[in-house]
Amino acid sequence: MRRLIVRMAGVCGLLMASSLALVGCGPREPVSEGAPADMRRLTEEQYRNTIADLFGPTVTYGGHFDPLTRIEGLTALGARIAQVTPSGFEQYYASARSIAAQVVNETNRQVLVPCTPASPNSADDKCAKQFFTKVGRLLYRRPLTAAEIDVATTLAHDVAERRSDFYQGLAFSLAGMMATPNFLFVVDSTEPDPNSPGNVRLTPFARASRLSFLLWNSTPDDVLLNAAERGDLYTKSGLDAQIERMVGSPNLEAGVRAFFTDFLNLEKLETLEKDPIIYPAFGARTTEDSREQLLRTITDHLVARNLDYRDLFTTGRTFVTATLARIYKLPVDRPDGGWAPYQFASDDPRAGIMAQIAFLAVNSHPGRSSPTLRGRAIREVLLCQKVPDPPGDVDFSLFNDPNSPSKTARQRLTVHATAPACAGCHKITDPIGLGLESFDGAGAIRATESGETIDVSGELDGKPFKDAAGLAKVMRDNPAVPACLVNRLYAYAVGRPAGRAEKETVAYFEKLFAADGYRVPELLRRIAASDAFYKVSPARAGTSAQSGSTVGYAQKDNPS
Amino acid sequence: MSILLPRPPSRRRALRSIFNGAAVTLALPYLDCFLNENGTALAATGASIPVRFGTWFWGLGHTPGRAVVDKRVTGRGVDFLEETAALKPYRDKLSYFGNFTMPLDGNANYTHFTGWVATLSGYVPQRGGEIPGTTLDLLIADVVGNTTRFKTIDVTSNGIARENYSARGTNSRAAAEVSPVALYARLFGPDFVDPNQAGFQPDPLIMLQKSVLSAYTEQSKEFLKSTGAADKARLDEYFTSVRQIENQLALQLEKPPANEACRVPQRPGEPSVDQLANIREMGNVIDTHKVMTKLLTMAIACNQSRVFNMVFTDNFGNVRRNGESYTHHLVTHEEAIDPALGYQPLAFWFGQQCMNGFAYFLEALSSIKEGDGTLLDNCLLFASTDSNYARIHSLEGVPVYLAGKAGGRVKTGLHVVGNGTPITRVGLTAMRVMGVPRETWGTNSLQTSKVITDILA
């Protein structure tokens, strides 16, 4: 188990040698009101991880699920209000049928069915009950009730008898189980709180689900469910033991990947295209590899090496494939298509995650870079600041001058800075994005545009920089960068935007994050061990899960 | 004791029961309620031909003065211009609706978003990304779409599954099918029952699937007890969705009515690596649209659904032309107006490709013979977009086309002038034609009770 040396800066004034030393000194956790219990639809990734964890990676299926709404920068918050449309259910059921058939096929049944029926040609209720008791607990994230086991077993019995096939009976009943709301929705089940009469608390199994989806982005494993069943998750030592086990597990990488995929809106990469004439080196493989590069860089930095989150903005360490190397112009040739670590020199402009293809190309046009889109992404995604949408009646004739002598983006964007209707917003995006103009729309480095030397100087909130590396440094030192991460990670953890009443709670985690040296696994520990993470308030009459939310994923209309 | 549910009554059994006076309260399936009032019959079978409803969507409107000659009075004949030239052969098979208004009641114009939401749902969103109501295709499907295998079929040609303009609200928006191979598998895969095959035998596995699903659904209702009001509403939608799949399964137990127009199409080939990398290049969008159209129109002819949605390009015009730096959307804003031509030539080109795509879709519907006419004659196709002049995001006069005669219920070949009345009149008229019993549609200034009687047959 990895131990961290953490410093409770300005609080304890001494070194503490335990990653879980959460009491005794340091800021006190503010009392959180929580929010009424609700339920979240499994995300596609959570569904996939759950299936892989339960049945192994060889069980595959196709299809796609209904999209989630992005709220406050996160689709995880959209899961809280997501519904299941008829065609969405059709996809769930088709996937369930496909998965169930694979689980009981002749190869997999040897491993995945914990017993052998008396005859494969008829029902065997004892064996079926054993199977559903085990699998159902992992699917529903709690022990099944006697009635639930009875229904699953009886259905398997009936089908087996009608089809003279025990395994077909299991498959039909399993497919039905995987199409129920018990599986498709993660529910905040509550029970009366014995320590606070009149209030409720999450059941131990609901606590286990919160923990598991935050840290592993998957269903609770057997060990965690056992701990829940024993009541361990209500005791500090029991909870800490599970958190320590889970943070130390290789599965933590899946959890960190899931959060950063959502936080950085990597979903946009799924529809990214570049013009093959303008950027011939950029293909479908480039998009896939750039996504993986970014996530490898993040997990290597934050999980494997447990480094300061802020240094992600300046690190030169990354991983590349031959496909990416063509755009980065690196001497990397991996004929097997595999990954190779690469370290950019300390004076290289390719500093940090903002200088990676995944960020640069997705925030560009198909055949041209976009300082505005890049600046906007920095503001909205990395700094959690809102950039207003352009007005619907904006006068585009201002920069439709066919005789314009502009050769560079900076020259073209001068119009934005001089036209009052545009200047208000563009002045908060363009000066940042112009710092990345040394990278074209595909992310390749360049020194000139249309034969003109590119000026990549700029400023971010009064902090000037000379180039992309300078911008990276300014971002690294910007206090809004870690604050944004904390805000988003807390919202992601509790499945809803942090409300006004939780301002102090978020500030508390910001302080801890700083004191812990901006280590993300440590922040995950802190959140997972906090009262706020599990807090639910009694449901108010007529409470709507949607009432407190903001539909903040407005589609953007950004012309330059 | 078995908990498998008994087989649901077939239409024939239900009718027999009613005629015997045994079950006067038994609700009939909707099948016969909305058939062609003119009694058009399929030549081979004598069965009535159903009327279908579909939407066809393209992004970013028209080039002003280059699409349709403006008119001040409703009358016969749509005068197509360069951008819509491909529609000329269909002049008598569609009507154009111009000069309708879209009052926002003080709400912002969420660019390229407000327009389609208002046209298709009758609501003006108060926030970006908000879809406050149910779109008209689903309101129609709730009435006519309960007796087919699929309530709706949603397809898009530009590879973005979430860009589907069919929703019951912000958080209930199905993903559209983006892959021709997956669409084929869904429509014509193992679960497809050829209506023209001899010797129909219901698949006993379908019956078992339905029974298992029903039993689990019944048990899952326990789930409702532990949820709050908002979550109950979400679960209601879940249970409605399950019921629909149960209906689909039940329908697969009966021999579908024969339809001589139905021909199982060939399975499309897998896309090339180049196509996958350039899905939104306009040439590939057109090719994908052609393949998807063939599958979709044949699925309609095979009575797999009565309601369908086809997206050619999305509301943000995320399509491009090889060699160009910008997408269609950015071109509409960044391209200069050519002083000699008087318009943006590349934006015009994109608009023209969209209308060529619309013409292809009409051709595909027209090429399938049904009874004395064509599939198009038995459809009502609602073609719409997000704005009028995309360059300035204008919402006044957002163009809408209605194609097909809806089995003889509507007149075509008209240029209908809105004269400042709300765009929702077109949607209300479409719903009434399709048998949706609504007096009014739309909210605030978009609310209307005025059907466009000019087009009613």
pLDDT (0 to 100) of residue B293: 98
- The domain tally of chain B equals 2
| Per-residue confidence (pLDDT) for residue B73, from 0 to 100 | 96
pLDDT number for residue A109: 96
Q: Is residue B269, in this structure, part of any structural domain at all?
A: no
Q: Which pLDDT band holds residue B114 (cuts at 50, 70, 90)? A: very high
B-contacting residues in A 404-463 (Cβ below 8 Å): 441
In this structure, what DSSP letter does residue A304 have? I
Are residues B389 and B313 part of one domain? yes
Per residue in A275-292, pLDDT (tens digit) is 999 999 998 899 999 999
CB contact under 8 A, B244 and A89: yes
Shortest distance, CA A553 to any CA of chain B (angstroms): 6
Does residue A3 surpass a pLDDT of 70? no
Least-confidence region, from A423-432, B48-57, B219-228: B219-228
Q: Is B115 helix (H, G, I), strand (E, B) or coil?
A: helix
Which of A553, A455, A546 has the alpha carbon at shortest distance from A36?
Answer: A546
CB–CB of A392 and B4 under 8 A? no
Please indicate whether, in this complex, the C-beta atoms of B208 and A162 are within 8 angstroms of each other: yes
Residue B272 lies in a domain: no
| Domain-located, residue B74 | yes
pLDDT band of A427, cuts 50, 70, 90: confident
- Lowest average pLDDT, out of A181-195, A544-558, B365-379, B427-441, goes to A544-558
Please name the residue of chain B whose CA is at the shortest distance from the CA of residue A404.
Answer: B336
Phi, psi of A185 (to 5 degrees): -115, 135
Residues B37, B40, B42, B46: what is their CA dihedral angle, to the nearest 10 degrees? Answer: 80
CA distance B45 to chain A (A): 31
**Domain presence at residue B342:** yes
Q: Are residues B170 and B213 in the same domain?
A: no
Q: What is the number of residues in chain B?
A: 457
Find residues 314-343 of chain A whose CB sits inside 8 Å of chain B.
none
Residue B374, amino acid: T
CB of B318 closer than 8 Å to CB of B331: no
* B418 domain-assigned: yes
Q: Can you give the pLDDT at residue A398?
A: 65
Residue A417 CA to residue A415 CA, distance in Å, equals: 5
Q: What is the pLDDT of residue A401?
A: 64
Q: In sequence order, what are the residues at sequence separation of 6 or more whose Cβ sits closer than 8 angstroms to the Cβ of residue B130?
A: A551, B117, B170
Q: What is the CB neighbour count within 10 angstroms for residue B28?
A: 12
pLDDT at B202 over 90: no
Tokens standing for residue B91? 């002049």
pLDDT at residue A548 tops 50 = no
Closest partner residue to B393 (CB to CB) among A181, A393, A542 is A393
What is the Cα–Cα distance from A146 to A31, expressed in whole angstroms? Answer: 38
The pair of three-digit structure tokens given for residue B95, joined into one six-digit string: 């009507």
pTM, whole model, 2 decimals?
0.87
When CB atoms are compared, the residue of A83, A86, A547 closest to B245 is A86
Cα-based distances in Å from B435 to A279, B34, B50, B53, B378: 52, 7, 12, 11, 14
Position B1 pLDDT exceeds 50:
no
Note whether A368 contacts B326, CB cutoff 8 Å: yes
Residue with tokens 């978009």: B446
Q: State yes or no: pLDDT of A557 exceeds 70.
A: no
B9 band by pLDDT with thresholds 50, 70 and 90:
very low
The band of A516, judged by pLDDT with boundaries at 50, 70 and 90, is very high
Q: How far is B333 from chain A, CA to nearest CA, in Å?
A: 6
Does B43 have pLDDT greater than 70? no
Statement: residue B434 has pLDDT above 90: yes
B151 vs A86, A551, A559: nearest CB: A86
Query: Is the Cβ–Cβ distance between B174 and B309 less than 8 Å?
Result: no
Confidence grade of residue A481 (pLDDT, cut at 50, 70, 90)? very high
- For all residues of chain B together, what is the average pLDDT? 88
Contacts of B209 in chain A (CB under 8 A): 97, 172, 175
* Residues B130 and B1 occupy one common structural domain: no
> Is the pLDDT reported for residue A7 higher than 90?
no
Which residues in chain B are closer than 8 Å to A42, comparing Cβ atoms? Answer: none
| Shared-domain flag, residues B78 and B128 | yes
> Between the CA atoms of B15, B20, B22 and B25, what dihedral angle is there, to the nearest 10 degrees?
40
The reported pLDDT for the residue numbered A409 is 81
Residue A150 CB coordination number (10 Å): 16
Contact of A393 with chain B, judged by CB distance below 8 Å, is answered with yes
pLDDT interval class at A365 (50, 70, 90): very high
Nearest alpha-carbon partner for B117 in B67, B152, B168: B168
Q: Is the pLDDT of residue A33 over 90?
A: no
- Please report which helix (H) or strand (E) contains residue B235, including its range: helix B229-251
Contacts of A192 in chain B (CB under 8 A): none
Same domain, B431 and B290: yes
User: Scanning the structure block, which residue is given the tokens 């390009």?
Assistant: B313
Give the least confident one: A300-314, A483-497, B224-238: B224-238
Concatenated DSSP letters of B321-333: -TT-SSBHHHHHH
Question: Does residue B271 surpass a pLDDT of 90?
Answer: no
The per-residue pLDDT for B40 is: 55
Chain A hits for B245, CB-CB cut-off 8 Å, are 86, 89-90, 93
pLDDT band at B47 (very low <50, low <70, confident <90, very high): low
* Mean pLDDT score, A391-409: 70
Residues B154 and B190 in one domain: yes
For residue A352, which amino acid is it? G
Shared domain for B249 and B324, answered yes or no, is no
**Residue B259 identity (one-letter amino acid):** N
Task: Return the bridge partners of A41, or none.
Answer: A185
Q: In the predicted model, what is the mean pLDDT of residues A13-25?
A: 42
Nearest CA in chain B to A190: B226
| Rg for chain B, CA atoms, rounded | 23
Is a pLDDT exceeding 80 seen at residue A353?
yes
Tell whether the model's pLDDT for residue A38 goes beyond 50.
yes
Lowest-pLDDT range of A298-307, A395-404, A525-534, B110-119: A395-404
B93 and B210 fall within a common domain: no
DSSP for A373-419, written as a single string? HHHHHIIIIIS----PPPPTT--GGGG--TT----SHHHHTHHHHHS
Name the minimum distance, in Å, from the CA of B343 to any CA of chain A: 12
CB contact under 8 A, A90 and B393: no
pLDDT-derived band at B431, boundaries 50, 70, 90: very high
Residue A332 confidence class, pLDDT cut points 50, 70, 90: confident
SS3 A169: helix
A187 Cβ under 8 Å from any chain B Cβ: yes
A390 interface with B at CB cutoff 8 Å: yes
Count H helices and E strands in chain A, helices first.
Answer: 23, 14
Is B155 in the same domain as B212?
A: no
The one-letter amino acid at B310 = M
What band does A43 get if pLDDT is binned at 50, 70 and 90? very high
Q: Is the same domain home to B319 and B242? A: no
Q: Does residue A22 register a pLDDT over 80?
A: no
Q: What is the pLDDT of residue A266?
A: 96
pLDDT at A53 over 90: yes
Could you tell me if B68 and B79 are in contact, meaning their C-beta atoms sit under 8 angstroms apart? yes
Query: CA dist A185 to A42, B220, B457, Å?
Result: 6, 12, 49
pLDDT given for residue B318 in this prediction: 93
Q: HSE on the CB side for B81, CA within 13 Å?
A: 12
Q: Exposed/middle/buried for A111, CB within 10 Å: 0-12, 13-18, 19+?
A: exposed
pLDDT class of B20 with cuts at 50, 70, 90 = very low
Greatest mean pLDDT among A11-15, A260-264, A407-411 lies in A260-264
Coil/strand/helix, residue B29: coil
Q: Is residue B396 part of a domain?
A: yes
Contact (CB<8Å) A555/B128? yes
Contact state of A69 with B129 under an 8 Å Cβ cutoff: yes
User: pLDDT confidence of B102, banded at 50, 70, 90?
Assistant: very high
Check CB contact under 8 Å for A275 and B170. Answer: no
Q: CA A527 to CA A502: how far, in whole Å? A: 13
Residues B50-67 have a mean pLDDT of 97
Q: How many CA atoms lie within 13 A of B114 on its CB side?
A: 26
- Model ipTM value: 0.85
Q: Are residues B64 and B194 in the same domain?
A: yes
- pLDDT tier, B37 (very low <50, low <70, confident <90, very high otherwise): very low
Chain B 274-333, residues with CB within 8 Å of chain A CB atoms = 276-281, 315-316, 318, 320, 322-327, 329-330, 333
Quote the percentage of chain A above a pLDDT of 70: 90
Most B-contacting residue of A182, A189, A273 (CB-CB within 10 A), to test interface? A273
State the CATH number of the domain containing residue B168: 3.40.720
CB contact under 8 A, B244 and A545: no
Looking at chain B, which residue has its C-alpha nearest residue A187? B227
Whether B195 and B271 have beta carbons less than 8 Å apart is answered as no
B184 touches chain A (CB under 8 A): no
Say yes or no: B33 contacts chain A, CB-CB below 8 A.
Answer: no
Among all residues of chain B, which has the CA nearest to that of A269?
A: B160
DSSP A478-524: -THHHHHHHHHHHHHHHTSPPPGGGHHHHHHHHHHHHHTTS-HHHHH
The pLDDT of residue A399 is 63
pLDDT of B347 higher than 60: yes
How confident is the prediction for chain A on average, in pLDDT? 88
Q: How many beta carbons lie within 10 A of that of residue A329, not counting itself?
A: 10
Least confident of A261-275, A506-520, B216-230: B216-230
Residue A560 pLDDT exceeds 60: no
Tell me: pLDDT of A241 over 70: yes
HSE-up of A422 (CA within 13 Å, CB side)?
A: 20
Whether the pLDDT of residue B11 is over 70: the answer is no
Q: What is the DSSP letter of B378?
A: G
Q: Is residue B266 part of a domain?
A: no
| Separation CA A234–CA A208 (nearest Å) | 11
Would the pLDDT of B34 be above 60? Answer: no
Does residue B56 share a domain with residue B71?
Answer: yes
Dist. CA A402–CA A78, nearest whole Å: 43
Q: Give the pLDDT of residue A284.
A: 85
pLDDT band at A390 (very low <50, low <70, confident <90, very high): confident
| Residue B122 lies in domain | 33-198+279-455
Per this entry, what is the length of chain A?
A: 560
